Structure 1
Amino acid sequence: MSYTTIKNFFILFLLTSNLLQALSCHIVREYTIHVVNKLPPNSILSLHCASGDDDLGTHTVLVNGDYNWKLCDTWTGVTLFFCHLYWDSKQVAFDAFRSKWSDRCGLACYWEARSDGIYFSEKFPPEKLEKKHDWQNKKQAS
């Protein structure tokens, strides 16, 4: 193969990849992920959510507040978002969305932080909340 052929193939590959990425929400489903603070009054929930490609940063969610974001699954079906939640001296980390959960989540994944743990519903507004995670004590710095 000539240099020009390889160069043209590479340019075509980049254009196709960019087009698929731009159309991804038209090709695959869009999901909304909710993380809601249902902790006791005056409790502040801090969270940090990210994927391999997108760091959503650290956010503070007041009681009854809803931190949410939309995502489009990749056409290869390998999307993963995880969250790390902090409340007083407690923390928990968990996967907030995985592509293989597409049937589990419907069009939304709903996570609710309560004083006894983290609950999940596959619908928004939530129905049939199920406890999925317990809070862990933060490790003491030495």
Structure 2
Amino acid sequence: MGKLLYFFILSLNLFDAPYENVVRDHDNINCLTFKCTVHIMSNVNNLRFRCHSRDDDLGDVTRNAGEEFDIRFCLHFFGRSRFSCHFYLDSKQQEFNVYELAPIFETQPYCFEGYDNLECYWKVEKDGFYIPRIFQPQPSDWVKVYDWK
């Protein structure tokens, strides 16, 4: 009975592990589920933002035009992964989820599925936030989804 209770408590701890596991060396990590990279590309100077999940606060970030910020993580086993970012540009701001759970057997419109990974893309412009219509988009393949507030 003691061994059964031990394995029950151990399994609860494994399945209630942190929602995401933010990783530095994305290529050499073994995930039980998909690996995900959220690419945030800046086409403006002095873009400030802060991204977080339930378990990870990635701190304050500043990017200039042509620079990118990547969030790399393992998707939560039960699909509860979510990252939110609060963006600031001059006196404007906006906050939204840059990655969240999609309905089963679907991916978010800003993500593209590979063999064992998701690649998600956001582009920040002076007039708002864009996502690509296709993988490896050309300049005309981006669609605006959010305005600055």
Normalised to the residue count of structure 1, the TM-score between the two structures is: 0.75
**Is the 1:121–1:129 contact (alpha carbons within 8 Å) kept by the matching residues of 2?**
yes
Provide the rounded CA distance (Å) in 2 between the counterparts of 1:114 and 1:92: 12
Question: Could you list the per-position Cα deviations for residues 40-84 of structure 1 after superposition, in whole angstroms to 9, with x for gaps in the alignment?
Answer: xxx200010011111111101011110112111111011110111
Paired residue for 1:113, among 124, 127, 144? 124
Gaps of 5+ in 2: 22-28, 113-117
Answer yes or no: is 1:34 the counterpart of 2:36.
no
Provide the rounded CA distance (Å) in 1 between the counterparts of 2:62 and 2:132: 22
Quote the RMSD (CA, aligned, Å).
Answer: 2.7
Provide the rounded CA distance (Å) in 1 between the counterparts of 2:57 and 2:87: 14
Provide the rounded CA distance (Å) in 2 between the counterparts of 1:134 and 1:6: 54
Query: Counterparts of 1:1-142 in structure 2 under 5 Å?
Result: 4=2, 8-13=6-11, 16-17=14-15, 25-39=30-44, 43-100=45-102, 102=107, 104=109, 105-106=111-112, 107-121=118-132, 125-127=136-138, 128-136=141-149
Provide the rounded CA distance (Å) in 2 between the counterparts of 1:56 and 1:118: 20
Q: Decide which structure has the larger Cα Rg and report it.
A: 1
More helix by share: 1
Q: Write the letter of the residue equivalent to 1:8.
A: Y
Aligned length: 128
Give the percent of matched residue pairs that are identical in Structure 1 and Structure 2. 31
Q: Write the letter of the residue equivalent to 1:114.
A: E
**Is the 1:109–1:123 contact (alpha carbons within 8 Å) kept by the matching residues of 2?**
no
Runs of 4+ in 1 over 3 A off after TM superposition: 4-7, 9-12, 14-18, 122-127
**Is the 1:52–1:80 contact (alpha carbons within 8 Å) kept by the matching residues of 2?**
yes
Normalised to the residue count of structure 2, the TM-score between the two structures is: 0.72
**Is the 2:38–2:70 contact (alpha carbons within 8 Å) kept by the matching residues of 1?**
yes
CA distance 1:59–1:123, change in 2 (3 Å): farther
